[in-house]
């Protein structure tokens, strides 16, 4: 089964690193350099997991993007990352999580794999 991950990271090097990290999971990974572009994709595409940086330039940041996703597609898992700000635990729904930068690559890989395996049974998807 192929899963689709929407990867949102404004820094090209970090996006490339994440692509390399999660590509062994045999995923379709869609890259976006901004939360605005990611929201456009979410509104017209199908996604199994949103993996997004919190701080990004543009009219939306990753935190605002996550809040929109939680409101419109409440079952879609969201994995947020940041080296600057950390949301409180009570701000993140149960099926989502936060990982601080710099990442522990094993933890990042494991978290993505866990979310996708949990999706195999019921696959709530944004579209």
Strands of 78-82's sheet, edge to edge?
A: 28-32, 4-8, 49-53, 78-82, 97-100
pLDDT at 102: 75
Residue 7 has a pLDDT of 94
Position 39 scores a pLDDT of 95
pTM of the model: 0.81
pLDDT (tens digit per residue) in 27-85: 788 999 999 999 999 998 888 889 999 888 889 998 899 999 999 998 888 988 877 76
Alpha helices in the chain (DSSP H): 12-22, 35-44, 62-72, 105-122
Nearest-angstrom CA–CA distance, 65 and 54 = 9
Tell me if 100 sits within 8 A of 82, measured CB to CB. Answer: yes
**pLDDT tens for residues 82-107?**
777 666 666 666 777 677 777 677 88
Q: Which residue segments constitute the domains of the chain, with CATH numbers given?
A: 4-19+27-104 (3.40.50.2300)
pLDDT grade for 10, boundaries at 50, 70 and 90: very high
Residue 59, classed as helix, strand or coil, is coil
């Amino acid at each position: 089964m192929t899963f689709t991950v929407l990867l949102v990271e404004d820094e090209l090097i970090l996006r490339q690193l994440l692509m390399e990290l999660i590509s062994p999971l045999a995923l379709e990974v869609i890259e976006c350099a901004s939360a605005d572009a990611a929201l456009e994709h979410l509104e017209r595409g199908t996604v199994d997991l949103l993996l997004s940086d919190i701080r990004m330039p543009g009219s939306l940041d990753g935190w605002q993007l996550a809040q929109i996703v939680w409101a419109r597609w409440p079952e879609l898992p969201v994995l947020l990352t940041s080296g600057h700000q950390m949301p409180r635990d009570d701000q993140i729904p149960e099926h989502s999580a936060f990982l601080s930068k710099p990442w522990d690559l094993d933890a990042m890989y494991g978290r993505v794999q866990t979310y996708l395996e949990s999706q195999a049974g019921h696959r709530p998807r944004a579209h």
